[in-house]
Structure 1
Amino acid sequence: MPIIAAAHPALSPQEVLQLTSSSWKSLVSEKRLEYQTRAKQLWDEYLEARNDYVKQYGHPPPAKRSKTSRSGNADEQRKPAASSSAQSEKEHRVFSQFFTQNSDAQDSIYWKSIDRALSLKDRYAKCQRDLNSLRLFLNEVKDVADKAAFSSEFLGLVKKALIENFKDLPLPDGFRVADGPVEYLSKADVVAERGNSRDAAFISTYKATMSRLKLPTVADFREQSQNRHL
C-alpha cells in the first residue's frame, strides 16, 4: 500500500485501499473502519514526507518510469538528459524505500496494538463472567452465619469432584488436577479458549468431561447444610 501511494500521489486513501485490497468489500465493517483510519494516517504521513522532500530538493519525488516508457524513449535517454532521469529515478527509489520502511514499521505497531486490544477485550469478558459468578455466590451465602466454614466445605466438594473426574487428564504442560484443582480448572479454561490445534485431543476430552460433570451448586449445598443442622 505505501508503494502504491508513493507512485500515485493523486489517489485518495480510499482509492489506494481499493487498488491494493481485492477483499476490501468483504471486510467486516469494524475492520474496514480500522483500515480506513489507518489508511488516512498513512496518507497523512506520506504527504508530510513528500513535503519534506520538496523542501529539501525543491520538487516533488518523481514518478517511477515504467519499462515501456523507458524502452519507448530510448533515443531520449541517450541525450544529456539521461543523467537527470537517472538521478530522478534514484531519488524516487530512495524516497519510496524510506517511506515504505517507515510505513511498514508503523503498520507492525498498529496491528500489534489491535491484537493486544482484542486480547484485552477477551480477558475483560472472562473477568466479567467471573465477577458475575462471584456476585451470584455472595448472594447465595449472604444469610449464612459462618461464611468461611461454608465456603471451605463447599470448595472441598468441588475439588473432590474435579480430582475424581480429571485425575487421568493432565494439562498439555503436564500440570495435574491433584496439584491444584482450582488452578487446574483455570488453566484448562485458558487452553480451551485458545483452541490451538496441537491441544485438540486435550480440549475435546476436557469439554466432554465438563459436559458430564455434575459439580455441586451453592444452592443445593446450602440446602443440604441447613437440613443437617435441623
Structure 2
Amino acid sequence: MLENMPVIAAAHPTLSPQEVLQLTSSSWKSLIAEKRLEYQARAKRLWDEYLEARNAYVKQYGHPPPAKRSKASRSSNADEQRKAAASSPAQGEKEYRIFSQFFTQNCDTQDTIYWKTIDRAVNLKGRYAKCQRGLNALRLFLNEVKDVADKAAFSSQFLGLVRKAVIENFKDLPLPDGFRVTDGPVEYLSKADVVAEKGNSRDAAFISSYKAAMGRLKLPNVAEFREQTQNTHL
C-alpha cells in the first residue's frame, strides 16, 4: 500500500509528505531511528548475557547446562536421574538441581526474548524499507504536479479515476470489521494494508483475496494522466 502513496497525496493535497506517510502507515512512529537502535542494542545485550551465563556454567561444571526437557522426557528418565543423584553428595546434588533448573528457565526466557527482539528488528527493517519506497513514490508524484496551476482540481480528477479502479477491484471484498470499499476507497486500502501487515490467521481468507485484488489493480499513472489532462484543455 505504501507504494501507492500518491493516491493518498491526491486525496489530501494539503498534507506534507510526512503527514501522508503517517496516514498510510500506522507503524510509522515505531520506525524512528532511535527505536530501531534500541531493539538492536537490546538484542545484543540479551545475547551477550546468555553467552556469559552459559560460559560461566561450563567453566564451573565442565559441560554445558542440560537441555530443557518435556515432562514426558523427565518422567521417562527419572530412574537414570535418581541413579546419578545417588552417586553425588545430597547437598551438591540439590544445589546442582536448583541451579540447573533456574539456569535453564532463565536461559529459555532470555532466548525467547532474544529471538522475539530479532524478529521485531527484522520486521521494522522491512517496514522502514517500505516507507522509503513510499516516500520515493510520493516525491515523484509531487514533482509531477509542482507546475500544475490548480493542484486541488487535478488531484480531485486523478483521485476519481483511482476510486473507480479501487471500487471495481474490491467491491465484493469487505474488511474483517465490515468496512467496505464504497465507504471510502482510499481509507479502505489503508485499513486493508494494516490487516494484511498483521497477518492474523483468522484473516487468512481476506488477506489472500486482498493480495489477489492488489495484483489485479492497475492505478492510473500520474504523468500520463497529466498529459491527457493538458491535451484535453488544448
Q: TM-score scaled by structure 1?
A: 0.62
Q: Distance in 2 between matches of 1:45 and 1:113?
A: 19
CA RMSD after TM alignment: 3.7
For 2:178, what is the secondary structure of its paired residue? coil
* Among candidates 38, 48, 52, match of residue 44 of structure 1: 52
Which residue does the alignment assign to 2:169?
A: 165
Where in structure 2 are there 5+ consecutive unaligned residues?
Answer: 1-42, 67-77
Q: Distance in 2 between matches of 1:135 and 1:71?
A: 72
Q: Distance in 1 between matches of 2:85 and 2:100?
A: 24
* Among candidates 99, 113, 118, match of residue 117 of structure 2: 113
Q: Which has the higher contact order (CA 8 A, sep 6+)?
A: 2
Task: Please state if 1:212 is matched with 2:216.
Answer: yes
Q: Distance in 2 between matches of 1:70 and 1:163?
A: 70
Matched ranges for 1:115-130 at <5 A: 115-130=119-134
For 1:148, what is the secondary structure of its paired residue? helix
Based on CA coordinates, which of the two structures has the bigger radius of gyration?
1
User: 1:7-64, CA deviations, whole angstroms, 9 ceiling, x for partnerless residues?
Assistant: xxxxxxxxxxxxxxxxxxxxxxxxxxxx99976642312455789xxxxxxxx56989
Q: For the structure 1 residues 161 and 130, does the alpha-carbon distance in structure 2 shift closer, same or farther, using more than 3 Å as the test?
A: same
Which residue does the alignment assign to 1:93?
A: 97
1:209, CA displacement in angstroms? 3.1
Where in structure 1 are there 5+ consecutive unaligned residues?
Answer: 1-34, 52-59
Letter in 2 for 1:42: Y
Q: For the structure 1 residues 96 and 217, does the alpha-carbon distance in structure 2 shift closer, same or farther, using more than 3 Å as the test?
A: same
For 1:183, what is the secondary structure of its paired residue? helix
Which residue does the alignment assign to 2:137?
A: 133
Q: Distance in 2 between matches of 1:38 and 1:191?
A: 31
Which residue does the alignment assign to 1:14?
A: none
1:222, CA displacement in angstroms? 0.7
